[in-house]
Structure 1
Amino acid sequence: MTTRKHFHAKPLARVIALASMPLVTFGAANVAAQESSELQELRDRVQTLERTLEGAVSTAPELQDDNPYLLRNGDGIKIGGTTISFGGFIKADAIFGSGGNGSLNSYTVGLPRTYASAAASGESDWKTGFSARESRLSIGTETDDVAGHMLTTYIEMDFNQDLNDALNETGNEIVSNSYAPRLRQAYGSWNNWDFGQTYTTFTDLAALPEILGQGKMAAFIYVTQPLIRYNMAVPGGKLMMSLENPEDGFYGNSYDDQSYPDLAVRYQLRGQFGFYSIAGLLRNFEDNAANETKTDGAVSLSARIPTVGKDDLRLQYSYGALGRYMGLLTYPDVDLVARAQGDVEPLKTYGATAAYRHFWSPAWRSSLTVSHTEIVDGLRASPAGTLSYFDSSTSVHANLLWSAHKNLTLGLEYAYWDFGEIASSSSKQYEQVMASAKLSF
C-alpha cells in the first residue's frame, strides 16, 4: 500500500511572504515613495508562486497501489522510462480471380508473376480465395534521454507468406489455414539514425496509392530490408542516406553474395503544396563464376499533391537497374540468358504509377490507380529465360472504401492486369475483384 503525504502550497507561500517583509520595510524607510508599488509587486509574485505550486500538486500523476512503476497514458504503457504501445490490424479479404485452372489456390498470395501465370493459363473460370494473412501485429517503444536523445523501436509482423511457403505446406487451406508469423519491420531510431529492417530509402511511402492489396501494383517501389540510415533536416524538407542489404536474385534464387551494400539517397521536400521526392540508388552486381562485377544504379521521382478538398494525386516514376526493387518480384536483377553465358548485364527497366484519391464524403472515398512497367533494354532472352513470358505489365485498380471510424474500413476493389508477351505484340489479361475488411487496434 502506497502512503501519500499531502503537500499544501499556502503555508509555504505565507512563510515566503513573512521572510520577505523586512526587506520591504527596509526599502520603505529609504524610499518611501516606492513602498506601495514594491509591496504590490511582491504580493503579485507570491500569488503567482502559490498558484504554480497548487497547480503542480493537483496535476501530479497518481501512483497505482499495485505497481508504482506502471503508469497508463494515451500513448501506451509506461514502465520505468520506457513507454510501450501495441498496434496492428485484422484484415479479412475475399478475392475472386480469373484464369483459374484447378491448381493450388494462389489468389490470396498473388503477385504479378502469379497473376501472369493465371493470365497465360488459357482458362476463363473465376476462382475464389479467402485470407486473413495480411493481418499485422506491431509493438513500439519510446525511451526518453538515452545519452541525451529519445530512443524509439518498432517491430511489425504479418502472416502473408509467399506461394513457395504455401507449396511447401508451412501453411495450408485444408484444415487449419495456419501460417507462421513473418517479420516485416524491426528497427530502432536514435539521434537521427535508423538501424534495422524497414522500408527502403529508395521509395517514398507518401506517394503509395491506397489499394486493398498491399503494394500489388505493376510498378511501385515497395521493398523492406535491413539498413543503416541517417536522416537530417535540410532546407525545405529532409535528406536520407542509407546503406542497405545487397542482393541480386530472383524469386528465391540468390546469384552470388555481394561485396558492397546498396547505397540509397532520398531528398523529400515538404510543404503546403504536398510532398515531393527525388531518390537515387547505386548497386553492385557480381558473378563469382564469371569473375565479373558491374556497378549500376537507378533514379526515382515521386509526389503527393493535394488537389480539391481532401483529394490528392500520387505519382511515382522510376528508371534504371531496378530489378527486385520494383513491382514485387516482377523482374530479375540481371539478364538471365546473359548470365548463363558468363556475362553480368543489369536489366534496365522503368515504371510509372499514378493514383487519384477522391473523398465523396468524410466517410466514403475512392482511388483510381494506373501502373505500368516495361523492360527498356533489347531483350537477349527467350520467353523461358529472363521472365516467365512477359516483358511489360500494366495494372489498373479502382475501389470504393467506407470508414465508419478510423479503426474500421470496409472496401470493394476491381483490378485489371495486362501482360505483354515477349517477342510478340499480343498480351494476356487477368482480372480480380477483392472485398476487404480492416479492423485496426
Structure 2
Amino acid sequence: MKLVKSLVLGSAAAFVGVTGASAADLPLAEPVEYVKVCDAYGAGFFYIPGTETCLLIGGYARAEYSVGEVTKTLGGVRGANASGFRARARLWFDARTETEYGTVRTYIRAQFQRDSGGVSGGVGAVSSTSTTSDDSIFDKAFVQFAGLTAGLTDSFWDFKPYPTFTNPFVSDRTLALIGYTYDFGGGFSASAAIEDGTGRRATSISNGFAARDFDYQEQTYPDFVGNIRVQQGWGEAQLSGFAHQINAQAVNDSEWGYGAQIGAKVNLPFLAKGDYLWGSAAYAEGALSYIGLGTSGDAGFSSGATQNITSANTLVDFVVGADGDIKKTQAYAFNLGLLHYWSPKWRSALQGTYADVDVASSGQDSRFYAVTGNVIWTPVKKLDIGAELNYVKVDKKSASYNLRDDDAFIGRLRIQRDF
C-alpha cells in the first residue's frame, strides 16, 4: 500500500513539473482590447479602442414615392413630373470625450440621395425623356466645446419639431456658423451665432423686372442669429431673432432684413405616450428662407413636388424700386400640428400651415395654405411604413405664378429603416 501511494505521488509531481516547464516555454499572448459599452451619453455609444472617446454610429435608409401634379404647363412642357421617386441614405457619427472643461463633441452626418428629376427640355420644347438627380453632401459637420458650436449644423433660429413628412412653413437649413450657448440651468439657455447669410438668399427673375433688381452683391456681414430656449418635462419653447444684410447690385447701398419667431412643443402624455402638440409663428422681412420659402424646405423634390409652391419664381427677398430704394419682402408664417399614438405600433399626425408674402412694389404677392395628415405603422422597432396626403391652396397669386391650379393634392408613401 505504501508502494502504491509513493508511485501515485511521484507520478503527480513529475506531471506538474513537466506541465510547468511546458507552460514556461510558451510565448505570452498579446492582450486583446475588447469594445466596451459607454453608458455616459445614452444607448448605442461605445469606447473607441485605446481611447477615452465614446462613439455612436447611426443612420437610415429611406424610400419614397410621391404623386400629385402641382406645377403648370409652360410652353407645352410641364415643369415637374406628376409622380416620382426618392431614395435617401443618411449616416452619422457622434464622438464625445470628457475633459476638464466638459464634453468635447464632434458630429458628422453624410447624406446620399437620388430623386426622379424634372422633365427634360426647355420651355417650348417637348421631350419624352427625363432625368435623375444625384446628391451627395456632408449635411452636418460641427464641433461643440464648453458652449461653443462651430461648423455646419442647424441654424440657431430653427424650431422644427413638426411630425409630418412634408415641411411646413419653417426654416429647415444646415448652415456654416459659429455660435455660443449659455446654460442657465433648469432647462433654460440663451444662444447667439454668426451664420452664413449666403445660404439664405432668395433671388430670381420675375416678369417686368431686370435680373439685377433681385441680385445680391458680396456678403459684407454674416447673419446675426440668437434665441432664448426652455426645455423641461412639459415640453420646450423658443424665441428666435435674426438680422440679415441685403447688398443689392442695382444700387450702391444696403439694408438689413430682420425677423422674429416663437415656437412651442407641449407633451401630451395623458392622451398617449409620445403625443405632443406643437406650433410656431414667425415674421421675416428681407429674408424669406427664415420662414421656409425661397431656397429652403422641400422645393427641390421636383417629382410630384410635395409642397412645390416654394419654387415659384416670384419669391424674392427684395426689389429695387424705380427710386433706387431697396424694398424688402415681408412675410408671415403660422404652423400648428399634432402627433398622436393610437398604439405603440400606429401613430398619426395632422398639421396646418399658412404663409402670407408681400413682395413690395412688384405686384407678386402670394398667400398659401396647406393641410397635411399621415398614418405611420411601425411593425418592428425602427421600421416605419407611412402614407401622407398634403392639400395645398393658393389664395392669392401673381400672373406668373407656376402652380397649375389654385389648389392641389399631393400624396407620399415612405418606408424608412433606422439603425
Same fold flag (TM > 0.5): yes
Structure 1 match to 2:109: 156
Structure 2 match to 1:78: 48
SS of the aligned residue for 1:71 comes to: coil
Give 2:370's aligned amino acid: S
Q: Counterparts in 2 of 1:34-433, with a 5 A limit? A: 68=32, 71-73=35-37, 74-76=44-46, 78-79=48-49, 80-99=51-70, 106=80, 127-133=82-88, 135-145=89-99, 148-160=101-113, 179-205=134-160, 208-213=161-166, 216-217=167-168, 219-234=169-184, 236=186, 237-247=188-198, 249-250=201-202, 255-307=216-268, 308-310=271-273, 311-321=275-285, 322-329=287-294, 330=310, 332=315, 334-336=317-319, 338=320, 342-376=324-358, 379-383=360-364, 391-422=366-397, 428-433=406-411
User: How big is the shift at 1:91?
Assistant: 0.5
Aligned residue pairs, count: 338
The answer on whether the counterparts of 1:370 and 1:397 sit within 8 Å (CA) in structure 2 is yes
Greater helix fraction, Structure 1 or Structure 2: 1
Greater strand fraction, Structure 1 or Structure 2: 2
- Higher relative contact order, structure no. (Cα contacts within 8 Å, ≥ 6 residues apart): 2
Give CA deviations for 1:244-267 in whole Å, capped at 9, x if unaligned.
111363268862222111111111
Give 2:190's aligned amino acid: L
Give, in whole Å, the separation in 2 of the partners of 1:186 and 1:348. 32
| Larger deviation, residues 289-298 vs 360-369 | 289-298
User: How big is the shift at 1:137?
Assistant: 1.5
Give, in whole Å, the separation in 2 of the partners of 1:256 and 1:70. 56
Distance 1:333 1:82, change over 3 A: farther
Q: Structure 2-normalised TM-score?
A: 0.72
SS of the aligned residue for 1:393 comes to: strand
Give, in whole Å, the separation in 1 of the partners of 2:115 and 2:250. 30
SS of the aligned residue for 2:219 comes to: coil
The answer on whether the counterparts of 1:302 and 1:314 sit within 8 Å (CA) in structure 2 is yes
User: How big is the shift at 1:193?
Assistant: 0.6
Question: What is the Cα-based RMSD across aligned positions, in Å?
Answer: 3.3
Matched, 1:440 2:418: yes
| Larger deviation, residues 193-202 vs 244-253 | 244-253
Q: Which runs of 5+ in 1 are unaligned?
A: 1-64, 108-126, 384-389
Structure 2 match to 1:31: none
Instruction: Point out 4+ residue stretches in structure 1 off by more than 4 angstroms.
Output: 65-70, 99-107, 160-168, 173-178, 251-254
Q: Counterparts in 2 of 1:25-36, with a 5 A limit? A: none
Give, in whole Å, the separation in 2 of the partners of 1:273 and 1:419. 36
Give CA deviations for 1:218-261 in whole Å, capped at 9, x if unaligned.
x1121210111111112541211111111363268862222111
